[in-house]
Amino acid sequence: MNLAYWRRAFMVLIGVVSCANAWAGSVGFQELTTLDERGAPIKLAIWYPSSSHADTVSLGWTTQEVAMNGALSEGRHPLIVISHGTGGTYFSHHDTATTLARAGFIAAAVMHPGDNAQDQSRRFFILERPGHIRRALDYLLQDWPGHAQVDAGRIGIFGFSAGGFTALVNIGGQPDMERIIPFCKEHSDHFACQLIAQESIAGRAAHAPMTEQLQTWDDRIKAAVIAAPALGFTFAHRLQRVTIPVQLWRAEDDWILPHPWYAEEVRRALPQAPKYHLVSHAGHFDFLAPCTPVMAQRLPDICSSATGFDRPAFHRAFNEEVVAFFQRTLEVEGR
C-alpha cells in the first residue's frame, strides 16, 4: 500500500475522532423566569452544553434528551436568543435550540408575555416584543447563574414569523407601523389583516409609535437568522441601520405571509444582501419543530405539511445551516 493510501486513511481516522468530539457531552436544560419592563414575567427555556448525564424528559408536548438543570460545560459559550411566532411557545424551535447546544452554543428561547399559546392578551402589542429580548439578554449576561460563561462578544438572534419581526427591530429595523391599516385594506385576506379585523384593539396597536426605539436596537447582537418575518412590508426602506450578517428564510408555499410582501420586502430593504434561502414546497409552519403524534392530532393546521414535504428531513438540513451560519458569522470554532 502506498503513502497516499495511508494519508487518506489517517485523514478518515482524524475525521472520525473529530466527529466524536463534536458530539461529546449532553444538552443541559433549564426553565427560568425574569421580568419585563411592566413587571410581567418573561419565561425562558435555555439549552446549553452540559457535562451532566441526560435523560429522556417530557417537556410540554415534546420528549427531549436533556440533563435537567445539568452543569454547564467548562469554557465560554456563544449565545443565541430565540423569538417564537404569535401564539407560539419557547418550545416552538426546540430542535434548533438543541442542535445549537450540541454545537457549543447556549440557546435561550423567550416566551413572549401576552403573545403565546397560553395567553394572547397582548398579541397586537408587537412592539413590546423587542423589549422582551433585551430584558432576556440583560438577565442572561448579568443574573443567570451561568452568566460568567456567556461569551458576550458572540451573541446572535433567531426569529420566526412575529419573532422575525422582533429580531429585525432588535438589530436596528424601524418598521413603519402606519402602513398596516392601508395595506390591510388592499390585502384583507392576509393572516395579520384577518387578526386585525377580529380585534377592536387592533387599530390602536397597529398605529403604536416606535417608543424607545434606541433602547430596542441592541448592538450586543452580532448576527441574525430570520425565518418568514411577519409584517415584512413595514420594513421597506427602513433597515438601513442593519449592518450585521443576516440569514433569511422564505417558504415557497407560505399562505400565511404570502410572497412578495414579507420576506421579499426584508430582502430588498437590507443594505447588505442576506444569505437567502427559498425552501421549495414548504409552508409557513414548516419552520416549526416537527410535531409529536399528540401535537399532530391536536394542532393539524400547524403540524400538517404538503404532500411530499418531509419536515423532519428539512429540519435536519435547516438546523445545520443555522448552526453553520452562526459559527461563521460569530467566528465560533466547530466542536
Task: Give the residue-averaged pLDDT of 314-331.
Answer: 98
pLDDT in tens, 277-318: 999 999 999 999 999 999 999 999 999 999 999 999 999 999
pLDDT in tens, 244-281: 999 999 999 999 999 999 999 999 999 999 999 999 99
Q: State the residue for C-alpha cell 393546521.
A: 301
Q: Look over the chain and give the mean of its residue pLDDT values, rounded to a whole number.
A: 89
- What pLDDT shows up at residue 335? 58
pLDDT-derived band at 197 (thresholds 50, 70, 90) equals: confident
Cβ-proximal residues to 308 (8 Å cutoff; 6+ apart), any chain? 281
pLDDT in tens, 65-81: 999 999 999 999 999 99
- pLDDT beyond 90 at 9: no
Domains and CATH numbers, the chain: 25-329 (3.40.50.1820)
- What pLDDT shows up at residue 154? 98
- pLDDT beyond 90 at 25: no
pLDDT-derived band at 8 (thresholds 50, 70, 90) equals: very low
pLDDT in tens, 32-77: 999 987 888 999 999 999 999 999 999 988 899 999 999 999 999 9
- pLDDT beyond 50 at 18: no
pLDDT-derived band at 216 (thresholds 50, 70, 90) equals: confident
pLDDT in tens, 125-168: 899 999 999 999 999 999 999 999 999 999 999 999 999 999 99
C-alpha cell of residue 32: 427560568
- Asked if 93 and 319 count as a contact pair (C-beta separation under 8 A), the reply is no
Residue bearing the bigger pLDDT, 114 or 205: 114
- pLDDT beyond 50 at 10: no
Buried residues in 191-213 as b, exposed as e (16+ CB within 10 A)? bbbebbeeeeebeebbeeebeeb
- pLDDT beyond 70 at 11: no
- What pLDDT shows up at residue 299? 94
Buried residues in 64-79 as b, exposed as e (16+ CB within 10 A)? bebbeebebbeeebbb
- Asked if 107 and 96 count as a contact pair (C-beta separation under 8 A), the reply is yes
pLDDT-derived band at 7 (thresholds 50, 70, 90) equals: very low
- What pLDDT shows up at residue 195? 83
- The Cα 47–Cα 59 span in angstroms is 12
Q: Given the DSSP bridges, would you call strands 26-35 and 275-279 parallel, antiparallel or unpaired?
A: unpaired
- What pLDDT shows up at residue 334? 66
- pLDDT beyond 50 at 91: yes
C-alpha atoms less than 13 angstroms from C-alpha of 308 in its C-beta half-sphere: 2
